[in-house]
A and B are shown apart, each in its own frame.
Chain A
Amino acid sequence: GAVVSQHPSRVICKSGTSVKIECRSLDFQATTMFWYRQFPKQSLMLMATSNEGSKATYEQGVEKDKFLINHASLTLSTLTVTSAHPEDSSFYICSARDGGSWEKLFFGSGTQLSVL
């Protein structure tokens, strides 16, 4: 079964609203989670690294005030797309690492965001 749960799987919102996406590790503690963005038929682009108890590390070109990341517990990270616009429409995927091993990196099932 899934070890990383991402919710919601699909969201449609009006332009200007904010959307929160949750990423939970189900049976392990994840000190580090990652958020990716994927456009149709393209690869995953790393947006930010979410560290439990500290500020997220954003990749170059990603607006931290636009994409708010909170990693308040060892099993939950959230990504909030603030004041969403149609260009923010995309498939967002989180991943969580179980311990220090990169072989234990599990991905959520993704969230399809559509901003009208």
Chain B
Amino acid sequence: TQLLEQSPQFLSIQEGENLTVYCNSSSVFSSLQWYRQEPGEGPVLLVTVVTGGEVKKLKRLTFQFGDARKDSSLHITAAQPGDTGLYLCAGRIIQGAQKLVFGQGTRLTINP
């Protein structure tokens, strides 16, 4: 059972278009992070959201944490080919041992 459901898993769009990636769960997380991973490399942290309803912006990327801290979204405005990559959401479980669980990932391709 996947604790974090990420959608879509694959997305291919044209340069200049907007897109949104979703990360959903029935569990509550103390925080949620978004990572980007290049082939053959480890993930690199983009942002951490902690408070329900929190919105953070990183240039053309907007991250939102759901009010109930069960879901999050990543919105990219005017996508560019350089945005191509694997985007992963990861939630920190509240109960028990502290650990990070990852969504399935969204493989994003921006075509010139």
6 nearest A-B residue pairs (beta carbon): A107-B42, A43-B105, A44-B102, A43-B102, A43-B104, A103-B48
The interface residues of chain A lying within 8 Å CB-to-CB of B90 are: 44
In this assembly, does A115 line the interface, its C-beta being within 8 Å of a C-beta of chain B?
Answer: no
A residues with CB within 8 A of B: 4, 6, 9, 34, 36, 41-46, 49, 57, 91, 93, 95, 102-103, 105-110, 112
In this assembly, does B92 line the interface, its C-beta being within 8 Å of a C-beta of chain A?
Answer: yes
B107 pairs with A105, CB closer than 8 A: no
Given A42-B105, A46-B101, CB of A102 within 8 Å of CB of B41? no
Given A49-B99, A110-B40, CB of A105 within 8 Å of CB of B45? yes
Given A95-B42, A110-B40, CB of A105 within 8 Å of CB of B100? yes
A57 pairs with B43, CB closer than 8 A: no
The interface residues of chain A lying within 8 Å CB-to-CB of B104 are: 42-43
In this assembly, does B78 line the interface, its C-beta being within 8 Å of a C-beta of chain A?
Answer: no
Q: List 16 A-B contacts (CB under 8 A).
A: A9-B40, A34-B100, A43-B88, A44-B102, A46-B99, A46-B102, A91-B40, A93-B43, A95-B42, A102-B31, A102-B92, A103-B45, A103-B48, A105-B45, A110-B41, A112-B40
Query: Taking CB as reference atom, which chain A residue is nearest B89?
Result: A43
